[in-house]
Amino acid sequence: MRIMGPDEVVFGVDDVEASRTFLVDFGLEEQRQADGSLRFAALDGTAIRIHHREAEGLPAPLPTANSLRQTVWGVEDQAALDAIAEELSQDREVRALPGGGVGCRDDVGFEIAFQVTVRRPLDLPPERINSPGAAPGRGANQIGADETAPALPRTLSHVVYFTPDMERMQRFYIDRLGFVVTDHFTNTGPFLRPQANDDHHVLFLLQTPDYMQGLEHVAFHMQGPSELMLAGTRMINKGYESFWGPGKHKFGSNWFWYFNSPMGVHVEYDADMDKHDERWTAREAPSNAETSQLFLFQSTPKWAPMGGPPPGKES
Amino acid sequence: MAPSWQHLARLDEVPVGESKGFDPRGEGRDSLFVVRTGEAFVVAYRNACPHVSGARMAWKKDRFMSGDGRHIACFAHGALFRPKDGLCVSGPCQGQYLTAVEVAIRGEELYLRLDNLCHEGVMQSRKELEA
């Protein structure tokens, strides 16, 4: 099954304007759609789509209050789309969608869809660093710290679900859609990679009680760690609420910075994720602070006392 | 000992139906928030979701309310809380409560009670004031 990764994550929200404000400030490009929904796109065309929760034609909500309505997976070509439709038609209704895709539910009730990918190939520079012993990434007089540099999400990286039945859910993605487990958190869930993407994960599952079913977060790849820091710092300076980060994960090696959002899920910047192929052997570890973060920074606006000691105290 | 109070804001800085975060201890983050539930009514809670220890709840500075304004929301995982008592009515911490903080309106001003609070940060700010 030649799935490349998430093309679009669809939400039904109670506050469209707040979501718009957040996603534009996050660095995504607003694209108003003919059906009244708003698309917020990364540089390669992958996107978050926002509808009002009572909009007509929206996939049914989950049994919980989570605002996720659908995950649209991009596949390599029409043959890949046909193969998925044929496979899933064996035991469920697969609907033809406007625009040529197909939609259905996975085995634990998440609405999913598949389409020939909208991902445009990117041809962009990497983060350039100078490292002693290696050829300079930046030549003489090329400045690395540019406060005015754009910091725009390049592509939708991955989605993470709270699932009430992790075993059933992972079997669906592995057995029916050909996802591969790259690493595994014991008692939490697997990191999954589809066949047409070498990223460490495009999907991660967290086992939770029924009443939490939904999307935990959606992540976008940035150019590199510096751009992630720049984008996240701009969010902090605008008053947005950091949930976790900045830091660097162990499994996947990617840098991370998670923010609360008006959709009631986290939206993550990530950068510099590991790549894998079929020669990789999955690792396993318990899920805790020690195994999930190689290191963690937290921003603080007060980094030093300014203007002398407080009244009545000696310095 | 008579209760001591710290001035937080003018009441009209928190319009009816809206919320505002406060940092009485000067920690560089809002440790509590106030919701103006009526013309002459306010409630206040720790900015800490009972679901994930200490998780901050707003999606942006001062934005603690759901889109329809009927609930306090945690924008980490979408939990909804009843403003009047902080009970989580939907989401991952359903049935649990936010930690209330005592505030009072005096005239046109809003005050935070500094003693008898559950909030460690606020307790420390009282000690600093007394020092």
Please tell me the predicted confidence (pLDDT) of residue A291: 80
**Domain limits of chain B?**
5-130
Could you report the per-residue pLDDT of A56-72, keeping only the tens digit for each? 989 999 999 999 999 99
Q: Give A262's contacts in chain B (Cβ within 8 Å).
A: 59-60, 63, 67, 75
Closest CB to B75 among A21, A209, A264:
A264
Q: How far does the CA of residue A182 sit from the closest CA of chain B (Å)?
A: 26
Give the mean pLDDT of B108-116. 86
How far apart are the C-alpha atoms of B68 and A27, rounded to whole Å? Answer: 26
Map residue B85 onto helix, strand or coil.
coil
Give the mean pLDDT of A176-187. 95
CB contact under 8 A, B56 and A238: no
Q: What percent of chain B has pLDDT over 90?
A: 74
Could you report the per-residue pLDDT of A194-210, keeping only the tens digit for each? 999 999 999 999 999 99
pLDDT beyond 60 at B128? no
How far apart are the C-alpha atoms of B42 and B16, rounded to whole Å? Answer: 9
Q: Give A11's contacts in chain B (Cβ within 8 Å).
A: none
Could you report the per-residue pLDDT of A26-55, keeping only the tens digit for each? 999 999 998 889 999 999 999 999 999 999
pLDDT beyond 70 at A308? no
CB contact under 8 A, A239 and B61: yes
Q: Give B63's contacts in chain A (Cβ within 8 Å).
A: 18, 262
pLDDT beyond 60 at A230? yes
- Specify the range with the lowest mean pLDDT, choosing from A72-76, A287-291, B49-53, B79-83: A287-291
How far apart are the C-alpha atoms of A255 and A269, rounded to whole Å? Answer: 8
Please tell me the predicted confidence (pLDDT) of residue B127: 35
Give the mean pLDDT of A235-251. 95
Q: How far does the CA of residue A138 sit from the closest CA of chain B (Å)?
A: 36
CB contact under 8 A, A243 and B80: no
**Domain limits of chain A?**
3-121+152-295
Q: Which two tokens stand for residue A164?
A: 């009430």
Instruction: Please tell me if residue A163 touches chain B, with a CB cutoff of 8 Å.
Output: no
Q: In terms of CATH, what superfamily is B5-130?
A: Rieske [2Fe-2S] iron-sulphur domain (2.102.10.10)
Mutate to test the interface with A, among B25, B33, B63 (most CBs of A within 10 A): B63
What is the rounded average pLDDT for all residues in chain A? 93
Closest CB to B67 among A15, A216, A238:
A15
What is the rounded average pLDDT for all residues in chain B? 87
Q: Give B78's contacts in chain A (Cβ within 8 Å).
A: 65-67, 214, 263-265
CB pairs under 8 A between A and B: 74
How far apart are the C-alpha atoms of B99 and A116, rounded to whole Å? Answer: 49
How far apart are the C-alpha atoms of A259 and B99, rounded to whole Å? Answer: 23
CA atoms within 13 A of residue A102's CA, in its CB half-sphere: 19
Instruction: Please tell me if residue B18 touches chain A, with a CB cutoff of 8 Å.
Output: no
Q: Which residue of A has its CA nearest to B54?
A: A243
Report in angstroms the alpha-carbon separations of A141 from A2, A145, A226.
Answer: 45, 12, 18
Q: Mind giving me the DSSP string for A78-115?
A: HHHHHHHHHHHHTTS--EE-TTS-EEEE-TTS-EEEEE
Question: Which residues 88-107 on chain B approach chain A with CB closer than 8 angstroms?
Answer: 90-92, 94
pLDDT beyond 80 at A300? no
Q: Give A65's contacts in chain B (Cβ within 8 Å).
A: 78, 80, 90-91
Q: How confident is the model at residue A307 (pLDDT cuts 50, 70, 90)?
A: low
Please tell me the predicted confidence (pLDDT) of residue A303: 55
Give the mean pLDDT of A256-278. 97
Could you report the per-residue pLDDT of A126-152, keeping only the tens digit for each? 999 999 999 999 999 999 999 899 999
Instruction: Please tell me if residue B70 touches chain A, with a CB cutoff of 8 Å.
Output: no
Give the mean pLDDT of A284-288. 88
Question: Which residues 51-70 on chain A approach chain B with CB closer than 8 angstroms?
Answer: 64-67
Q: Which CATH number fits domain A3-121+152-295: 3.10.180.10, 3.30.470.20, 3.90.550.10, 3.30.420.40?
A: 3.10.180.10
Look-up of token digits 């012993």: A133
Q: How confident is the model at residue A89 (pLDDT cuts 50, 70, 90)?
A: very high
Which strands form A47-52's sheet, in the order they lie side by side? A29-32, A38-41, A47-52, A3-13, A68-75, A111-116, A102-105, A95-96
- Specify the range with the lowest mean pLDDT, choosing from A240-254, A286-300, B5-19, B76-90: A286-300
Q: How confident is the model at residue B118 (pLDDT cuts 50, 70, 90)?
A: very low
Instruction: Please tell me if residue A298 touches chain B, with a CB cutoff of 8 Å.
Output: no
